[in-house]
Amino acid sequence: MAESTKKQGSPTGTSTRNTAAAAADDYSKYEVNSPTEVLAILKGMIEQGSLITFYFNQGYDFLLTSLLRVSADGKSMIFDYGSNMEMNRKALQAKKINCVSSKDKVRIQFNLSGLETVRHEKRDAFLADVPPFLVRLQRREFFRMTTPMTNPARANIPLPQEDGSLKMLQAVVSDIGGGGVGLNVPQGETGLTRDAEFSGVAIKLPDIGTATVEMRVRNIHDVTSPNGKIHQHAVCQFVNISRPMRDLVQRYITKIQRERLVR
């Protein structure tokens, strides 16, 4: 049975979306929409025994699972239960599950609109509808790792003002990869707009160091957290990031991965 765990811890869009879904919007050109191809990828994941991470509760919770079966009619699929029953219960209550996995070393991502319990080979399992599309990211730079909420990474962004001064905006890093970051910023912050570019952005990576980068805002959305509080999520792309700064980011990602394996 798969292991489950919990994570520690222009005009803007008006849609309410979770962090992972917002990031996926920036990858629309990598969508696979053909039902036949979607099913082929899912069945390939079964054959390879690919592990899948379910992210839910706005990314605060996640569990590791695997795809066990796709129905003969191609409309539903069955996933293994996690080993933590409390996390399984929370997943069943979630209205949206963001699934992240890989096949042939290519990142695969798709959303599920809820889970149900079903018996499979004499044990409990998750039942879900086959998604209408999935995202297949073939470039390493598009990989994003969800960051811990305790002792989070933070980005200090210098925002130019009309009088020529700079206002420093601090944002929490929600996910990070070699190609960019996802940032949570206060609702109503007007300094970040789509396609805006910023230089001298200092990303403080706990226990690793500070990566100073130039970045471009690719997308920005309003996000509503479980407590009803609204903030903005910005999907940002690094611009000509230097090798030393990219290495710092990769060291931080490796640190997160190791910590999660220990748990």
Could you tell me if residue 10 is inside a domain?
Answer: no
Going residue by residue through the chain (263 aa), what tens digit of pLDDT does each one get? 544 444 333 333 333 334 444 444 455 667 888 899 899 999 989 988 888 999 998 777 889 999 999 999 999 999 999 888 999 999 999 999 999 887 666 788 999 999 999 999 999 999 999 999 998 875 554 567 788 888 899 999 998 888 888 889 999 998 888 888 989 887 777 678 888 899 999 999 999 999 999 999 888 877 766 666 777 888 888 988 898 998 899 889 888 888 877 65
CA distance 159 to 185: 13
Q: CA torsion, points 132, 133, 134, 137, in degrees to nearest 10? A: 180
Among 175, 2, 5, 184, residue whose Cα is nearest residue 90: 5
Could you tell me if residue 3 is inside a domain?
Answer: no
Residues 122 and 164 placed together within one structural domain of the fold: no
Confidence (pLDDT) at 154: 95
Give the residue from 89, 111, 138 where a domain finishes.
138
Q: CA torsion, points 90, 92, 97, 103, in degrees to nearest 10? A: 110
Range of the domain at 92: 27-138
Could you tell me if residue 218 is inside a domain?
Answer: yes
Residues 221 and 125 placed together within one structural domain of the fold: no
Confidence (pLDDT) at 231: 76
Check: CB of residue 114 under 8 Å from CB of residue 26: no
Number of structural domains, the chain?
2
Enumerate residues 6+ apart whose C-beta is below 8 A from 215: 180, 181, 197, 198, 201, 236, 237, 238, 239
Check: CB of residue 128 under 8 Å from CB of residue 112: yes
**To 5 degrees, how large is the angle CA 257–CA 258–CA 263?**
100
Residues 44 and 104 placed together within one structural domain of the fold: yes
CA distance 21 to 97: 9
CATH label of the domain that carries residue 106: 2.30.110.10
Residues 127 and 165 placed together within one structural domain of the fold: no
Residues 172 and 247 placed together within one structural domain of the fold: yes
Among 154, 180, 206, residue whose Cα is nearest residue 22: 180
Position of tokens 């811990």?
Answer: 148
